[in-house]
């Protein structure tokens, strides 16, 4: 379990000085209200570090809460909700879809608070603040701002680049910036962060130079397709490969031996984790610094803490097809399936399940139930860690303390493999295969020895990161240079209901998975007109300049 001292310390200091308000919808008209305003605050290293603590949690809350899986997994097709969240499941996200607005506001809240931190540290940091800490704290804010813009540009395309909140008070000419210039800004910012972040974490969970280089590997891989048709920019592919290799060769991180260990409490800040959102179990106070997402993912109150509202959420048939052998043989060697989705009869001894035994309340180690006649979904396991008794008492309704992965070493291995493949149809590059197999074989699958293709790497990413909010962004990255292939993947996905039947209960050795016969609208229609998210209606009404044609941020 992580040492949460610096996050709790930062929260305690900040909440005495901050007006905690939701990020304003009219973000282009005034700076966010929830910002430190006391110029006497930044007088010591501890105070400066406290000033960036909430950049690791609270500013991301509205995205992490429900929007992360609604966009990353529901829109991406790696999971679905049978009855709820249909705008995103059906790929009909509108300007009024709640998760659309929540994400936009959250990302611009990260931008606004990062800007505020940079400005306040530069303006108010006293003589008692060491130069190294000042540089490091500003680099943390630049890292967060760059990451927020990566989400913004990949969801909405052209967006306004804002680096100084105060200028918005008088500047009515703010408009969107082109996708190409936003990506240039993002990579420039992360390179700046990498230059100033410390080599080792100043406290558990804090960012490092290596974490920024890992993000640069991701960013350059994404950016390689921007403005391209059919192939990617080789310079940016080489940059992605270069930074991925630097991270791997640093030996700062290593894959956990077992995939399931990534999501067993307590897993925070483990050896594979490069960057996490740092949530704190907060009891009944300090709303927004805790992880609320498990409340919506757990399939039943029987394994939760007064929540457990995820009974209609689960794997899509499409994603189940990505697990090698499952749909063909009813079984798979891939251990990631059990750690990500629950199938009937599977046992999870780390989770307590409430049951009725002989007419009286009782408990047992979780055995995922087998119910229904024509629909019984593979429910979500990842990030579901059970009741308070399973979490050292650190769990209550909508309040969990375990972190959200934002980047793991496994992704860096797969980035290297994809960058090494580049624009070729396949590769037998020994290092690319070595890194690919490090991820592939960790899951229990046999060594992959065929020429490695994009489809192989894409499939590996889908099953490795399902329910980590990644699938949609992988499709956006593909869409940059091969839109038709991205549409083809999305439009081939089966997002309808199905029935999973075990061959025995409990401890099945195979399952039969059958589409529900009466289920309509099993597929979606993704095309150029609906691929990116529309700007939220509330933002357009407050900032009509967002309707203007985008301009190059660097033109002037």
| Residue at 542 is within a domain | no
Last residue of a domain, one of 358, 378, 405: 405
The region of weakest confidence among 12-21, 32-41, 251-260, 523-532 is: 12-21
Mean pLDDT of the region 438-463: 98
Return the SS3 of 485: helix
**Domain contains 116:** yes
Please report whether residue 283 resides in a domain. Answer: no
Q: Is the backbone peptide bond immediately before 257 cis, with ω within 30 degrees of 0?
A: no
End residue of a domain, out of 384, 405, 426:
405
Nearest of 306, 283, 282 to residue 294 by alpha carbon: 306
Q: Are residues 39 and 148 in the same domain?
A: yes
Q: Are residues 208 and 226 in the same domain?
A: yes
The answer to whether residues 60 and 175 belong to one domain is: yes
- DSSP code of residue 189: H
Q: Is the pLDDT of residue 9 over 50?
A: no
pLDDT of residue 151: 98
Residues 306 and 268 in one domain: no
**Least confident range of 34-43, 135-144, 426-435, 513-522:** 34-43
Q: What is the pLDDT of residue 361?
A: 95
CA end-to-end span of the chain:
48
Contacts of 13 (CB under 8 A, 6+ apart): 41, 47, 50
The residue ranking higher by pLDDT, 332 or 38, is 332
- Band the pLDDT of 333: cuts 50, 70, 90: very high
Helices within 125-275 (DSSP H only): 131-156, 179-196, 209-223, 234-250
Helices (H), 273-367: 294-297, 317-321, 326-329, 336-340
Domain annotation covers residue 287: no
pLDDT, the chain, mean: 92
**Closest listed residue to residue 214, CA positions, set 135, 146, 264:** 146
16-25, 116-125, 508-517: which range is least confident on average? 16-25
What would the mean pLDDT of 262-277 be, rounded to a whole number? 97
Residues 27 and 107 in one domain: yes
Average pLDDT rounded to a whole number, residues 354-381: 94
Domain count, the chain: 2
388 located within any domain: yes
Query: Looking at the structure, do residues 82 and 189 belong to the same domain, yes or no?
Result: yes
**pTM of the complete model:** 0.94
pLDDT > 80? residue 20:
no
What's the chain's Rg over C-alpha atoms? 23
Q: Looking at the structure, do residues 385 and 473 belong to the same domain, yes or no?
A: no
Tokens found for residue 65: 């809460």
- Based on the domain organization, do 387 and 457 belong to the same domain? no
CB 378 within 8 A of CB 320: yes
37 pLDDT above the threshold of 50:
no
Distance (Å, rounded) from C-alpha 533 to C-alpha 98?
A: 12
SS3 content of the chain, % helix, strand, coil (to 5): 45, 10, 45
Residues 258, 309, single domain; the answer is no
* Residue 386: domain span: 294-405
Query: Which percentage of the chain shows pLDDT scores above 70?
Result: 92
For residue 463 the two structure tokens come to 């099953």
Confidence (pLDDT) at 477 = 98
**Exposure class string for 75-95: b at 16+ Cβ within 10 A, else e:** bbbbbbbbebbebbbbbebee
The answer to whether residue 155 is domain-embedded is yes
- Answer yes or no: do 93 and 171 share one domain: yes
Question: What is d(CA 17, CA 411) in angstroms, rounded to the nearest whole number?
Answer: 38
Answer yes or no: do 457 and 315 share one domain.
no
pLDDT (tens digit, 9 = 90+) per residue, 81-107? 999 999 999 999 999 999 999 999 999
Question: Which of the listed residues 499, 527, 544 is the one where a domain comes to its end?
Answer: 499
Token reading at 84 = 């709820």
What pLDDT score does 359 carry? 95
């Amino acid at each position: 379990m992580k040492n949460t001292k610096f996050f709790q310390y930062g929260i305690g200091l900040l909440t005495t000085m901050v007006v905690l308000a939701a990020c304003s919808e009219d973000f282009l008209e005034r700076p966010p209200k929830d910002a430190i305003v006391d110029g006497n605050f930044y007088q010591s290293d501890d105070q400066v570090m406290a000033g960036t603590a909430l950049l690791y949690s609270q500013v991301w809350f509205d995205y992490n809460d429900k929007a992360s899986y609604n966009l990353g997994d529901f829109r991406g097709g790696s999971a679905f909700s049978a009855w709820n969240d249909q705008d995103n499941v059906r790929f009909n996200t509108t300007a009024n879809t709640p998760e659309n607005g929540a994400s936009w506001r959250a990302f611009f809240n990260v931008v606004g608070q990062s800007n505020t931190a940079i400005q306040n540290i530069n303006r108010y940091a006293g003589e008692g603040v060491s130069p190294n800490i000042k540089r490091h704290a500003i680099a943390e804010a630049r890292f967060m701002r760059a990451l927020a813009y990566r989400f913004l540009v990949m969801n909405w395309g052209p967006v306004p680049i804002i680096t100084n909140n105060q200028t918005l008070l008088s500047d009515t000419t703010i408009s969107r910036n082109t996708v190409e210039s936003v990506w240039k800004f993002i990579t420039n910012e992360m390179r700046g962060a990498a230059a100033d972040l410390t080599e080792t974490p100043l406290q558990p969970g804090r960012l490092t130079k290596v974490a920024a280089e890992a993000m640069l590997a991701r960013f350059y891989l994404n950016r390689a397709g921007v403005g391209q048709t059919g192939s990617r920019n080789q310079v940016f592919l080489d940059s992605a490969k270069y930074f991925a290799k630097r991270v791997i060769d640093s030996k700062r991180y290593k894959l956990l031996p077992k995939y399931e260990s990534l999501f067993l409490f307590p897993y925070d800040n483990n050896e594979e984790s490069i960057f996490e959102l740092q949530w704190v179990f907060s009891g009944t106070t300090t709303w927004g610094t805790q992880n609320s997402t498990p409340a919506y993912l757990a399939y039943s109150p029987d394994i939760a803490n007064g929540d457990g509202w995820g009974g209609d959420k689960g794997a899509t048939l499409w994603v189940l097809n990505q697990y090698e052998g499952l749909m063909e043989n009813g079984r798979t060697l891939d251990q990631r399936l059990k750690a990500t989705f629950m199938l009937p009869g599977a046992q999870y001894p780390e989770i307590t399940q409430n049951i009725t035994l002989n007419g009286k309340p009782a408990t047992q180690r979780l055995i995922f139930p087998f119910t229904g006649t024509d629909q019984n979904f593979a429910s979500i396991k990842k990030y579901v860690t059970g009741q308070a008794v399973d979490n050292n008492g650190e769990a209550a309704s909508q309040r969990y303390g375990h972190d959200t992965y934002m980047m793991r070493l496994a992704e860096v291995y797969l980035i290297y493999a994809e960058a090494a493949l580049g624009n070729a149809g396949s590769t037998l590059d020994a290092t690319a295969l070595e890194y690919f197999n490090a991820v592939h074989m960790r899951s229990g699958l046999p060594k992959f020895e065929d020429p490695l293709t994009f489809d192989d790497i894409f499939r590996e990413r889908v099953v490795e990161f399902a329910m980590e909010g990644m699938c949609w962004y992988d499709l956006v990255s593909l869409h940059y240079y091969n839109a038709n292939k991205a549409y083809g993947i999305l439009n081939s996905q089966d997002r309808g209901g199905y029935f999973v039947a075990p061959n025995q209960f409990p401890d099945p050795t195979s399952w039969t998975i059958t589409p529900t016969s009466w289920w309509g609208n099993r597929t979606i229609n993704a095309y150029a007109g609906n691929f990116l998210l529309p700007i939220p209606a509330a933002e357009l009404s407050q900032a009509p300049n967002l309707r203007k044609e985008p301009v190059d941020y660097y033109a002037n």
